[in-house]
Chain A
Amino acid sequence: MKRKYTLIILLVVFAAAGAQAQMKSYIDIYGGASYAVGNFAAADYSNNDAGFGKRGATFGLDGAYYFSKKLPFAIGASVIFQDQGEVSYTDALNLATGYTTSYKADYTTVTTVGRYHAINFLVGPQYSFQYHKFILDLRAAGGLSRVSQTPAYTIAISGVPEQSKTIYQREGGGLLPIYGGSAGLRFKFADNWSVGIRGAYYDTGNGLKVNTDGLQEPAQGRLVTRLPSFSVFQTTLGITVDL
C-alpha cells in the first residue's frame, strides 16, 4: 500500500512540475537486456507453444518530438534490435527425451541451430514529467517487428517405422505487428545531455508460421506449426542528446 501511495505522490510531483517544464525533443541510444517471457520463454516438450527464448542483448535508437516546449506531449519512435538467444543443450536434450518417450523410440537425436533475432520499428505517443533534472517518460507504442531469424530443428527418431523420415522445423522469419509500452527515467547531467534507464514490454501477438517437413501422420509427438508470440521485457541504459 505504501508503494502505491509513493508512486501516486511521485507522479503528482512530476506532473505538477512537468506542466511548467521546458521539454526538448531528443534522440537516444541505448542498450541492455531483453528477457523472453511467457510461452516465448517456456521450454517444455509437451507445450507446443514453448519458444525456448532466452535472455539476450538489445540496443536501439530512439527519439521523441515535442510539439511544443510548453507541453509534455510528444510522439516517440524507436528502432530496436533484439536477440533472444538460442536453444540450449538442455533444451535439445529435453526435446530428444520427449520424442523418444512419445514415439516409444530406441533413441532420438535433436539438433538445433540459430537464434531469435528481430528488429522492431515502433511509434507511439509519449507523456513526460519533469522534476528538476529528472524526466520520467511514459510511452505506448505499436509498429512492426521484422523477425530475421529463428532457431531451426532437426529431429531424427530411430526405431520407429511410422516416423522413418527426419523431421525438420525450418528457420522462420517475417513481419509481425508489435505493441507495448515503456517507462524511462532520464537524468540531465548537462545542458543537452542526459542518461537514463528504461523498462519496456513488447508483444508481437500471433507468432510466425513455421514450415515443418518430414512429419509423418499421424504425429505421435510434439508438433509445432506456429511459433509463440514474441513477448519480451527489456531493461536498458541509454544516453540522450537534446535537439
Chain B
Amino acid sequence: MNKLRLFVFLLAAGFLIQSCTKDTQSAVAFSNQPFQANINGTSWVPDTVSTTITYNPADQSKTFYCSGQKNQKQVIFSVKLNNSTNTPGFATGTFNIDSVNVFAQYNVQQLNGSGNLVFVPHGAVKPGSGSIVITSVDSVKKQISGTFSFYSRSTQYDNQGNVISTTVDNITAGQFENLSYQFYNNQ
C-alpha cells in the first residue's frame, strides 16, 4: 500500500511540476517591397508603382517622377534638375519641397461627376512641408534609392471664410530602394 501511495504522490508531483506556462507570442512582419511609406502612422505598400526619369532637351532639365497607389490612396513626388545632360543618371542629395522644382502630392480616390473613380489631392503640400532624399542611383541598371516624407494639409471653411477644421495627412518613413525606372528623352 505504501508503494502505491508513493506512486500516486510522484504522479501528482509530476502534474504540479508540469505547470506549463501559456505565453502569448506576437510578431509583426512588414512588407519588404521596394516602395513603402507610413500614411498617418499606418504602413502602406503600393501595389502599383511608376518611376521615370525624363530628359527634356527644350530646357535641358531632367525630372525624376515616382508614383505609387493602393487601396484608393496615391503618393506622387517629383524632382526636377535644371542644366542637366541627356543621360539616364540622376543627382543624389536632399531635395526640399518647394513647389517649383520639387513636388509631392497625396491623393485619395473619389467619384467624379461622371461617376468614375479618380484620384484627387487630399489637401495641399506646400513649400517646406517635406523633402525627397535620393541616396543612390545606378544609371546602368536604372535603379534608384532614397527616402521621402511630407505632410498634406487640408482646411475646411464655412461660408464666411472661417476655418471649420484642418486635417493633416502625414506621409512619413517613405522609402524606395533599388526601384527600377524608365529613362525617356522628350525629343
Interface residues of A (CB under 8 A from B): 27, 29, 31, 56-57, 59, 61, 81, 83, 86-89, 91-93, 95-101, 104-115, 117, 158-159, 161, 239, 241
Contacts and interface: CB of A to CB of B under 8 A. Distances in A.
B157 interface: no
Nearest to A28: B7
B28 interface: yes
Contacts of B29: 93, 96-100, 107-108, 110
Contacts of B22: 86, 113-115
Could you tell me the dominant secondary structure of chain B's interface residues?
mixed
A106 B43 contact: yes
B15 to A, nearest CB: 7
B59 interface: no
Contacts of B71: 159, 161
Interface in B86-137: none
Nearest to A111: B26
Interface residues of B, number: 28
12 contacts: A29-B14, A86-B22, A91-B25, A93-B27, A95-B27, A100-B30, A104-B33, A107-B31, A109-B26, A115-B22, A117-B20, A159-B43
A106 B30 contact: yes
Nearest to A27: B7
A101 B20 CA distance: 33
Contacts of B10: 29, 239
Contact of B27 (A27, A61, A109, A241): A109
A89 B45 contact: no
B47 interface: yes
A88 B7 contact: no
Interface in B5-29: 7, 10-11, 14-15, 18, 20, 22-29
Contacts of B3: 241
B14 A59 contact: yes
B27 A92 contact: yes
A31 B16 CA distance: 13
A106 B27 contact: no
Given A61-B7, A106-B43, A107-B29, 14 more contacts: A59-B11, A81-B14, A83-B20, A86-B22, A86-B25, A87-B25, A93-B29, A99-B29, A106-B31, A109-B27, A110-B27, A110-B28, A111-B24, A159-B44
